[in-house]
Amino acid sequence: MARLICDISMSLDGFVAGPNQTLEDPLGQGGERLHEWAFPLVSFREPHGLPGGETGADDEVVAESLRATGAVVMGRRMFSGGAGPWEADPNADGWWGENPPFHVPVFVLTHHARQTMTMQGGTSFTFVTDGIEAAVEQARAAAGDKDVLLAGGAAVVQQSLEAGLLDELQIHLVPVLLGGGVRLFAEGGRGTDQIGLERTRVIDSPAVTHLRYRVVK
Amino acid sequence: MARLICDISMSLDGFVAGPNQTLEDPLGQGGERLHEWAFPLVSFREPHGLPGGETGADDEVVAESLRATGAVVMGRRMFSGGAGPWEADPNADGWWGENPPFHVPVFVLTHHARQTMTMQGGTSFTFVTDGIEAAVEQARAAAGDKDVLLAGGAAVVQQSLEAGLLDELQIHLVPVLLGGGVRLFAEGGRGTDQIGLERTRVIDSPAVTHLRYRVVK
């Protein structure tokens, strides 16, 4: 069965988005800093249709993840920044235009049903209204013998961890302090007595530390 | 001038102590898990007067820190678990008995004045009532050409970071989730616009990842 792997950038103080997220500033104040390490990489630029870029350890980590990913699961807010009925969402078609950088089927968790959108370049967006377990099940079926990448946001990661669905956790730990925003790990989560982690790999560059853990079930 | 270096163990979800701290359980539920990586090490056992132990990468990180440390700063709660007047503190002489494992001068931040305690083995406890800057200044004078180690707790680390006193941050990131407790980085701290970090070193073992950052001032 396809493994479910959370792959997310986090600040040293534990945030995956900065404070005061808006449509104009979807990552919140300072939140762009969490992703700056990736922007120059070949493996980031190529799926976005951009030429050139940097290679090296960070690039290989991202390229490895791309090669392994057969489907993606994400939350509604990560898809559009919105909530509620789609008719009232000014960003209802998502952030990425006609040719999104995923190039695999994407399953979006939402409370509001909607037809699947088939985009250019192999990306499709399927909207799943019956919860994280159903979304992961559909994504696993779509991924075949590849992995399912859980892209975020934090609430979806927490749900998948609490539900025992997550197989691995890859955190790109960025040496910045955001001082506030959206935490990857909320207060009141289940602790280590219930959720064990085994660190499987650490890859390190000046820009970011790639921490990889297996969830022990 | 002696550098001020925070040296602290943190869970992957950002906690330096578990929930429900008590005198019987000073690290909170699950909090011992944050320090288990250190207990077997020669460099942990030797200052505690214990023979033998393990060597290796983790041991060298701790031994390096011990060699470099000329004085320690800590908060009152880390010293005794208590708060308020010393007469009412059932653990007023601290956790460590007659021969504490520090073997250098220790400066304890408190609101309640008290005579310096001179212990066996080179440890002394000096109680500083006029704030973090004064405590660090006294510790720097005592440390000579060595570093000042900021041992915790979280509130004291945050104060020193906000006050621009901290030179380096060494976080021993432990692959456990505590699900609650005391966060090293509180909401509402100053963000990266004000506090820059430069990752200077990552040393890694299955038990713990030693992350080291320089605070850019």
The ipTM is 0.94
Closest-CA distance, B202 to chain A, in angstroms, reads: 7
Whether a cis peptide bond, with omega within 30° of 0, leads into A153 is yes
**Of A29, A179, A213, which has the smallest distance from its Cβ to B190's Cβ?**
A179
- Asked if the C-beta of A31 comes within 8 angstroms of chain B's C-beta atoms, the answer is no
A chain contacts of residue B33, beta-carbon cutoff 8 Å: 192
**Of A33, A190, A202, which has the smallest distance from its Cβ to B202's Cβ?**
A202
**Gap between the Cα atoms of B13 and B50, Å rounded:** 32
- What is the arithmetic mean of pLDDT over B102-127? 98
Q: Are B189 and A180 in contact (CB under 8 A)?
A: yes
Question: Where residue A138 falls among pLDDT bands split at 50, 70, 90?
Answer: very high
- Asked if the C-beta of B115 comes within 8 angstroms of chain A's C-beta atoms, the answer is no
Does residue A1 surpass a pLDDT of 90?
A: no
Dihedral, CA of residue B15, residue B18, residue B24 and residue B26, to nearest 10: 10
* Range 184-203 of B in CB contact (< 8 A) with A: 184-185, 187-193, 195-199, 202
What are the tokens at A153? 């946001």
How much is the pLDDT for A217?
77
**Which stretches of B42-158 are assigned E, i.e. beta strand?**
69-75, 105-109, 117-118, 124-128, 147-152
**Of B29, B195, B198, which has the smallest distance from its Cβ to A177's Cβ?**
B195
CB contact under 8 A, A18 and B191: yes
CB contact under 8 A, A192 and B33: yes
- Asked if the C-beta of B36 comes within 8 angstroms of chain A's C-beta atoms, the answer is no
What's the Cα-to-Cα distance from A187 to each of B64, B119, B187, rounded to whole Å?
Answer: 34, 39, 12
Which of A13, A20, A33, A170 is the best substitution to test chain B (most B C-beta atoms within 10 A)?
A13
- Asked if the C-beta of A52 comes within 8 angstroms of chain B's C-beta atoms, the answer is no
- What is the arithmetic mean of pLDDT over B122-136? 97
Q: At what angle do helices A132-143 and A154-162 cross, to 10 degrees?
A: 90
Bridge-based pairing of strands A124-128 and A117-118 is: antiparallel
Does residue B192 surpass a pLDDT of 60?
A: no
**How much is the mean pLDDT over chain B?**
94
CB contact under 8 A, B14 and A185: yes
What's the Cα-to-Cα distance from B152 to each of A109, A162, B68, B91, B158, rounded to whole Å?
Answer: 41, 30, 17, 18, 9
Does residue B193 surpass a pLDDT of 80?
A: no
B chain contacts of residue A199, beta-carbon cutoff 8 Å: 175, 204, 206, 209
* B185: CB partners within 8 A, 6+ apart: A12, A13, A14, A177, B14, B154, B158
Question: In terms of pLDDT, which residue wins out, B7 or B190?
Answer: B7
What are the tokens at B195? 């506090």
A chain contacts of residue B206, beta-carbon cutoff 8 Å: 198-199
* H/E stretch holding A125: strand A124-128
Q: Are A13 and B185 in contact (CB under 8 A)?
A: yes
**A79 SS3 class:** helix
What would you measure as the largest C-alpha separation in chain A, in angstroms?
Answer: 47
- Asked if the C-beta of B204 comes within 8 angstroms of chain A's C-beta atoms, the answer is yes
- What is the arithmetic mean of pLDDT over B135-163? 95
**Gap between the Cα atoms of A85 and A103, Å rounded:** 26
B chain contacts of residue A176, beta-carbon cutoff 8 Å: 191-192, 196-197
By CB neighbour count within 10 A (0-12 exposed, 13-18 middle, 19+ buried), where does A133 fall?
middle
Per DSSP, what are the bridge partners of residue A44? Answer: none
What are the tokens at B24? 């019987």
* H/E stretch holding A60: helix A57-68
pTM to 2 decimals? 0.95
Q: Are A195 and A215 in contact (CB under 8 A)?
A: yes
What are the tokens at A201? 């790999």
CB contact under 8 A, A33 and B195: no
Q: Are B52 and B45 in contact (CB under 8 A)?
A: yes
B chain contacts of residue A28, beta-carbon cutoff 8 Å: none
**Of A18, A179, A191, which has the smallest distance from its Cβ to B189's Cβ?**
A179
CB contact under 8 A, B197 and A176: yes
Question: Where residue B188 falls among pLDDT bands split at 50, 70, 90?
Answer: confident
By CB neighbour count within 10 A (0-12 exposed, 13-18 middle, 19+ buried), where does A59 fall?
buried
**Gap between the Cα atoms of B143 and B161, Å rounded:** 20
Number of H-type helices and E-type strands within chain B: 5, 11
Residue B103, phi-psi category: left (phi > 0), alpha (psi -120 to 50), beta (remainder): left
pLDDT tens profile B36-88: 999 999 999 999 999 999 999 999 999 999 999 999 999 999 999 999 999 99
**Gap between the Cα atoms of A164 and A159, Å rounded:** 9
- Asked if the C-beta of B57 comes within 8 angstroms of chain A's C-beta atoms, the answer is no
- Asked if the C-beta of B124 comes within 8 angstroms of chain A's C-beta atoms, the answer is no
Q: What's A84's DSSP letter?
A: S
Q: What's B41's DSSP letter?
A: B
Q: Are A99 and A122 in contact (CB under 8 A)?
A: no
**Gap between the Cα atoms of B128 and A141, Å rounded:** 62
Q: Are A179 and B189 in contact (CB under 8 A)?
A: yes
B chain contacts of residue A206, beta-carbon cutoff 8 Å: 198-199
Long-range CB contacts (within 8 A, 24+) of A46-49? A47/A101, A47/A102, A47/A103, A48/A101, A49/A99, A49/A101
How many CA atoms within 13 Å lie on the side-chain side of A38? 23
**How much is the mean pLDDT over chain A?**
94
Place of tokens 């559909």: A138
**B9 SS3 class:** strand
How much is the pLDDT for B190?
65
